[in-house]
Amino acid sequence: MSSTLPAHSPISIMKKFIALFLNVFICINAFAQAYPDKPIKIVTSFSAGSGPDALLRNVSEKMSKSINQAVIVDNRPGGNGWIAADVVRKAPTDGYTFLQVDNTHVALQQHLFKKMPFDFNKEFEPAAPIFWTNFFIVVPMNSPWTSVADLIAAAKEKNGRLSFGSWGVGSAAHLGAALLETEIGYPMLHIPFKEIPQVYNAVASGDIDWAFGTAASAGPLYRGKKVKFLAIAAPKRLDGYNDVPTVTEANGPKNFELKTWVAIYATRGTPKVVLDKFNQEMRLALLDPDIQKNMRTFGFEPWFNSPAEVQKEADSQSKKFATIVKTTKISID
């Protein structure tokens, strides 16, 4: 009497399912162990020589030594970050092409632009965070202001003529100033520039009254005593700038915060084992003492989180940006 089970019996089907599951598990495990077996490319929307670019190159060098594969940085600036993103979204979802972007690309643009070339959050998913940094209120060195309260008083007095600069409509500096306007209840005059350095040179010369800037963008002029920092838009003071109070401490709006962050994204659908591996390697690189020292130079704070936590942060900021854009009626065709 044969003991062979019918091909469609529950037990037979279960055995096939288990065998299939084991094969898939073995394949995924083998892929994870082999990854990466060729060079990795990170396309960045930041210009060569900028703070995020310089840090990424240092991190990439550390990662290369750890994974025994080259990690190549490919600068594709311009086009609101869409040029770099378009290169990556057309690449295979195999974990060998990544994208470096900041929170404006991830959480702001969909609210700011009336037309988008593609839906960023449908095309990409987080792989690893790199850093975050808060903004200072930057004023000329000879400014009579000594606190945020002085700035608010001047905004009230000038009634729309107090000028602030940014590197373009919808930039983080512009949105931050627009948020401050809504908080204090007085309008100010936005002066957009084409490039970031132009903003702080204009502050230093007194051509504009103030601007939001980071330690990376405005720090050199601050150290050269060309500008001063009234306050930092953060919950606490920044190491290395301990004499600069928070906006709250400087008699500005309570709990006012403005920060930007930079992370690595992958094309959506990249295997989870790849994202986890990349995230782990990024974490190891950021923990390196040399990298930590380099980050302090730029005023960057290392950011350690899982891809899921990065997504939560992006969703949270998206809601905040949506509110700011709606309130201030800022939009770009």
165-205 pLDDT, tens per residue?
Answer: 998 888 899 999 999 999 999 999 999 998 888 999 999 99
Number of domains observed in the structure of the chain: 2
Whether residue 77 lies inside any domain: the answer is: yes
Nearest to 73 by CA among 90, 49, 106: 49
Instruction: State the pLDDT at residue 32.
Output: 55
Q: Could you tell me the residue range of the domain that residue 241 belongs to?
A: 136-257
Instruction: State the pLDDT at residue 196.
Output: 87
User: Which residue positions in the chain have pLDDT lower than 70?
Assistant: 1-33
Same domain, 193 and 118: no
Contact 248, 254 (CB under 8 A): yes
Q: Which of 257, 282, 300 is the last residue of a domain?
A: 257
CATH number at residue 274: 3.40.190.150
Instruction: State the pLDDT at residue 27.
Output: 46
Instruction: State the pLDDT at residue 5.
Output: 55
Contact 96, 69 (CB under 8 A): no
Question: What is the rounded CA–CA span in Å between residue 198 and residue 204?
Answer: 10
Instruction: State how beta strands 259-267 and 97-102 pair.
Output: antiparallel
Q: Which residues are CB-contacts of 50 (< 8 A; sequence separation ≥ 6)? A: none
**CA separation (Å) from 5 to 2, 10, 21?**
9, 9, 20
Nearest to 65 by CA among 266, 281, 290: 281
Whether residue 6 lies inside any domain: the answer is: no
Whether residue 202 lies inside any domain: the answer is: yes
**CA separation (Å) from 252 to 5, 55, 76, 155, 247?**
77, 32, 38, 13, 5
Instruction: State the pLDDT at residue 47.
Output: 84
Instruction: State the pLDDT at residue 24.
Output: 46
Supply 107's token pair.
């959480």
Instruction: State the pLDDT at residue 9.
Output: 62
Same domain, 274 and 231: no
Q: Which of 240, 257, 274 is the last residue of a domain?
A: 257
210-264 pLDDT, tens digit per residue, is 999 999 999 999 999 999 999 999 999 998 899 999 999 999 999 999 999 999 9
